[in-house]
Amino acid sequence: MSAAARFSFNHATAKFWDQREAVEACARAGAGIGLWREPLQEMGVEATAKLVQDAGVEVTSLCRAGFFTDPTAAALEDNRRAIDEAAAVGAPTLVLVSGGIPENGTIDSAREGVKEALAQLAPYALERGVTLAIEPLHPMFASDRCVVTTLAEALDLAAPFAPEAVGVVVDTYHIWWDPQVWQGIARAGREGRIASFQFADWITPLPAGVLTGRGQLGDGCIDFKRYLAEVDAAGFTGPIEVELFNDALWARPGAEVFQETRAAFERVVA
């Protein structure tokens, strides 16, 4: 399959676009879609499942669960619900963002919490045919959003579990700076852990709060062809999601953002 044919549109790239319209646009373009739980829940699990099935669109992932550095019963219950949602809509992968440092905790204690949560959730996910995908986020999010910061760390967390139960997300935006990134991708492939492959570009200056500064593909410093080649060489040939959190994109009509993003994707992989 050509790289261009592997395009999947993550709904967060056009965050305020109606889920039905997004799915239908993906169907027309032959693209996959990465769904998000909030619009899914708003439409309903069954209705969303029917929507993607009727449209014939491949759901490449469901975003997002996790936030279990303090693995309370409520946090685990919400993650089990997310696994059920992923199974119901046919998403092979549930993306997990670990959460930040809990009140009165440290980054070390938070990392222990993640281990504990994964041990609780992995069997449940495996039974339902959903792979939990640990997403290392850029270290600028380490205190308030995700204590998992590198592919190596995510792979160490995944190691106790079967690859079908726990994998990792390779998202260019979060890992591009890592001097060990190529080794990390090769290891992720060797260990059969690449559960999701996502593109976003790195641009500066970063906006206040830094969450919504992800660049359109080609606007920043990331060498997507190199990532494509390294991930291919690591044996992953599945869908490539484009997920951009970007205030300027969010302010524009979803259909327009979809076309622009797809064109940008085709340019950077060509």
Contact 214, 241 (CB under 8 A): no
Taking CB under 8 A as the rule, which mask of x and - marks residues 222-261 in contact with its own copies?
A: -x--------------------------------------
Nearer to its own copies, 12 or 222 (CB): 222
Angle of helix 45-55 relative to helix 73-89, nearest 10 degrees, comes to 30
Q: Counting beta carbons within 10 angstroms of the beta carbon of residue 34, is it exposed (0 to 12), middle (13 to 18) or buried (19 or more)?
A: buried
Q: What is the 3-state secondary structure (H, E, C) of 137-191?
A: CCHHHCCCCECCCCHHHHHHHHCCCCCCCEEEEEEHHHHCCCCCHHHHHHHHHHC
- 237: phi > 0 → left, psi -120 to 50 → alpha, else beta; which? alpha
Closer of 11 and 138 to its own copies (Cβ): 138
Nearer to its own copies (CB atom), residue 179 or residue 270: 179
**Which is nearer to its own copies, 55 or 206 (by Cβ)?**
206
218's torsion region: left (phi>0), alpha (psi -120 to 50) or beta? Answer: left
Determine the length of the chain.
Answer: 270
Distance CA 245, CA 169 (A): 16
Nearer to its own copies, 153 or 241 (CB): 153
97 binds its own copies (CB under 8 A): no
Which residues within the stretch 32-71 sit at the binding site for its own copies (CB under 8 A)? none
Shortest distance (Å) from residue 154 CB to its own copies: 10
DSSP string of 55-82, one letter each residue:
HT--EEEEEEEE--SS--HHHHHHHHHH
Shortest spacing between CB 211 and its own copies, in angstroms: 9
* Site size for its own copies (CB under 8 A): 30
- For the CB of residue 181, give the shortest distance to its own copies in the complex, in Å: 9
Kindly write out the interface string for residues 108-147 of this chain, putting x where it contacts its own copies by CB under 8 A and - elsewhere.
Answer: ---x--------------------------xxx-xxx--x
**Distance in angstroms (rounded) separating the CA atoms of residues 239 and 7:** 6
Give me the least distance between CB of 40 and its own copies, in Å please: 28
168-227 binders of its own copies (CB under 8 A): 176-179, 202, 204-210, 220-221, 223
Interhelix angle 254-269/224-233, nearest 10 degrees:
70
Closest contact distance (angstroms) between CB of 214 and its own copies is 13
One-letter amino acid of 82: A
Binding-site ranges for its own copies (CB under 8 A): 101, 106-107, 111, 138-140, 142-144, 147, 149-150, 152-153, 176-179, 202, 204-210, 220-221, 223
